[in-house]
Structure 1
Amino acid sequence: MTITRRNILKIGGAAAALPLLGSRAFAQTEPLKVGFVLIGTVNDNGWNFGHAEGAKYMKEMLGDAVAEPTIVENVPEGPDCERVLRELAQSGHKLIFATSFGYGDYVIKVAQQFPDVKFEHATGYQRSDNVATYNARFHEGRAVCGTIAGHLSQTGKAGYIGSFPIPEVVLGINSFVLAARKVNPDFEITPIYISTWNDPAKEADAARAMIDQGIDVIAQHTDGPAALQVAEERGIVGGFGQGADMSAFAPKAQLTSIIDHWGPHYQDAAEAVIAGTWETGDRWPGLKEGEVQIGPYNESIPADVVAAAEAIKNGQIDGSFNIFTGPINDHTGVERVPAGVTMTDGELLSMDWYVEGVNPPA
């Protein structure tokens, strides 16, 4: 697969070519070289921006112990990812973060060829001795957003712009509508999948189509602010930032945002590699740990709605509330989770069914 544009960035420095061969052998006395592979651009103001901010945080916290992080942008989920991962490993990077779901097979393949390099795959599920996975409990933030939508929507109908129908995205849709239906039992949500993580034109078109069909709240699991900008233009109730605060693009329409704070994990992983204590495993923190954060609430939201949203947020932090505690029916009305039973992490991570209130795409 070819790509139209790919940038290699050094945080705090100029763009540089990535050497393939001939790099000096890594030594304990040298700064750790850390690489990041992104599916989009650091300027997407969402998912990729969040990872770039995390890389910057890591560097600020560890100083000279790490080299300026290498960020490779616009790497598709295909064979080009394998090439980029291999180039990073060959050029002396001893810790490499692959930050998109579809990179998984390529991470595993390249990691087998470089057993002395540590790889971490965001939102992935495949692990080995030198491959770990990490994620964030985005669905906890969706429950906060769904609570707001349930209170504010005048039509009781929301739209959800999704990338791909993978468990992580389905999980977020379900969390959103379960929370909204605790406020308005008749609330409905309609997902549209655009088969990409970041395509402003597709995101905007999907938002327009949804609004034309009568929805007045938009949520998303895509990377940029295009849908929020359409919501701003059309004057609907609003929507929610994804991965970062997008209020600069839609100051009236963004009701709040789910902010990803990856920096502490990147710092911890780098420190572990430097100390020789890095181990494979899976990491899935959320609101409690601060990896998922809720951005400022729009000043137009009534105080009682903010209080309701804060109660859902704080309940998830202190463990008194879990949106996936039954009874929960699927979209056909069949009970999937009995009353009082809370779904396990394994069940959440493999979720491939919609809850009641979701209108599945055809």
Structure 2
Amino acid sequence: MSHQPFSSLSRRQVIRGLLAAGAFGATSRLWTGCTPSTPTASSGEASPGASPISAKELVMGFIYVGPKDDFGYNQAHFQGKEGLAKVAGVKTIDQASVPETTEVQEVMRNMIEQDKANVLFPTSFGYFDPHILKLAAEYPEVQFFHCGGMYVEGKHPKNVGSYYGYIDEMQYISGIVAAHTSKTGKLGFVAAKPIPQVLRNINSFTLGARSVKPAITTQVVFTGDWSVPVKEAEATNSMVDQGIDVITCHVDSPKVVIETAERRGIYTGGYHADQISLAPKGYLTGAEWDWTSVYTNYAKMIQEGKTLMNGGIPHLLRGGLKDGFVKLSAYGPAVGDPAKKDAEAAKAKLMDSSLTIYKGELKDNTGKVLLPSGKEYAQKAGELEAMSWLVEGVVGKTA
């Protein structure tokens, strides 16, 4: 069930009133760790995160930087949250359109203190540092899971975790389909910011395309932020004017890019969620998240008494197609049989782990060798998590 929040002012007034009455301060953290009446065997006292959380106590809060119906990043997380309705004993609350400012700190506090949330999923990239890290220190019994952040052992609080999917696997396949469909040999990628997760998608898309047509190129344009509709439209139109005939993106909502490309009569690859309804003629396929499976697994682990703090839940959780983190959109009407055949073959190899996307010899787009022949980066390689380069075939710069 979606949570309809009070205004920030009314929440603060309620909390201050409770604190002033002395009724809240003594109990504000009792619900965030474990069942207070359940002692541990060693100490006779409750130990945060050490015993199973009962059904009525598991409250999972979700925070999105944009609207829930954006056809993109936030909608994908919202759909994942909605999937928890099938899990017994889990209550969910959420709040949308929360900026990456101190406002998210207040939203998190309100969810913890008013709504009794003991698990939070603040999903946007900019929520992590300093906002999640600050709140995690204030509420050590609450577990904070961030999408895409990098947990550092010994540096970050024990109650902070990071999860993310290898959606670049689906971008690789989307690149295969794009290359088969393109007549000009020019692809386009509208991107928000040159952070590792975005660069990885650009590079994997390009490598997938070049596995079909080695000379194909990908023009990238960075808009500077996650949701800048005017710049996204301008970038798409500019690419079409340059002869690019397939475009994909990594922005919060692909809606503007997909619809603009459809109006201009070119093909598109989707991202985050299914956008075929926005481009019934030109949509090829897309890289989608499957957050329901991820959030369901988290809920079940927590119900079993596993936590970040007791080591039962890993601080870094990653997975790809075979792990149920990501999926490929259905093929659009413009996708031919050769493209489908190659795409399905790549999917099969990802499922049996026989396909490595990053292997040598691999150069960046300045000619520098990133990986010599015979070397490779597996999906879990730290070098990919810290990616700062663009591969050969990408036209553009990271700065």
TM (norm. structure 1) is: 0.91
Q: Are residue 47 (structure 1) and residue 76 (structure 2) matched?
A: no
The letter of the residue matching 2:216 is: F
Offset, 1:166:
0.2
Q: What is residue 324 of structure 1 aligned with on the other side?
A: 358
Tell me the distance in 2 between the aligned counterparts of 1:128 and 1:193: 33
**Paired positions, count:** 347
Q: What is residue 119 of structure 2 aligned with on the other side?
A: 95
Which structure has the larger Rg over C-alpha atoms? 2
Q: Are residue 79 (structure 1) and residue 127 (structure 2) matched?
A: no
Offset, 1:116:
0.7
Q: Are residue 350 (structure 1) and residue 380 (structure 2) matched?
A: no
Equivalent position to 1:288, from 322, 329, 339: 322
Tell me the distance in 1 between the aligned counterparts of 2:163 and 2:262: 34
Offset, 1:299:
2.2
Tell me the distance in 2 between the aligned counterparts of 1:116 and 1:274: 15
Tell me the distance in 1 between the aligned counterparts of 2:148 and 2:167: 11
Q: What is residue 168 of structure 1 aligned with on the other side?
A: 197
The letter of the residue matching 2:265 is: G
Offset, 1:353:
0.8
Offset, 1:270:
2.0
Q: Are residue 115 (structure 1) and residue 151 (structure 2) matched?
A: no
Instruction: Kindly provide the CA deviation profile for residues 20-70 of structure 1, in whole angstroms up to 9, marking residues without a partner as x.
Output: 53577525552411110101110101111111111111122x23x112x11
Q: Conserved in 2, the CA contact under 8 Å of 1:54 and 1:262?
A: yes
Offset, 1:331:
0.7
Tell me the distance in 1 between the aligned counterparts of 2:248 and 2:317: 25
Q: What is residue 17 of structure 1 aligned with on the other side?
A: 6
Q: Are residue 304 (structure 1) and residue 338 (structure 2) matched?
A: yes
2:278 partner SS? coil
Tell me the distance in 2 between the aligned counterparts of 1:16 and 1:351: 38
**Distance of aligned partners of 1:351 and 1:16 in 2 relative to their CA distance in 1, 3 Å threshold:** closer
Question: How much identity, in percent, do the aligned residues show?
Answer: 33
Tell me the distance in 1 between the aligned counterparts of 2:252 and 2:240: 20
- Of 143-152 and 273-282, more deviation after overlay is shown by 273-282
Tell me the distance in 2 between the aligned counterparts of 1:35 and 1:222: 23
Q: Are residue 256 (structure 1) and residue 313 (structure 2) matched?
A: no
Tell me the distance in 1 between the aligned counterparts of 2:190 and 2:278: 17
Tell me the distance in 1 between the aligned counterparts of 2:366 and 2:5: 54
Q: What is residue 260 of structure 2 aligned with on the other side?
A: 230
The letter of the residue matching 1:298 is: G
Equivalent position to 2:185, from 153, 156, 161: 156
Offset, 1:149:
1.4
For structure 2, the residue ranges without an aligned partner over 5 or more in a row are: 19-23, 36-52, 309-313
Tell me the distance in 2 between the aligned counterparts of 1:341 and 1:300: 36
The letter of the residue matching 2:319 is: P
Instruction: Kindly provide the CA deviation profile for residues 186-235 of structure 1, in whole angstroms up to 9, marking residues without a partner as x.
Output: 11111111122223333222111111122111110012221111111111
Q: What is residue 4 of structure 1 aligned with on the other side?
A: none
Tell me the distance in 2 between the aligned counterparts of 1:140 and 1:128: 31
Q: Conserved in 1, the CA contact under 8 Å of 2:180 and 2:338?
A: no
For structure 1, the residue ranges without an aligned partner over 5 or more in a row are: 1-9
Offset, 1:86:
2.0
Q: Conserved in 1, the CA contact under 8 Å of 2:207 and 2:357?
A: yes
Tell me the distance in 1 between the aligned counterparts of 2:112 and 2:228: 30
2:359 partner SS? coil
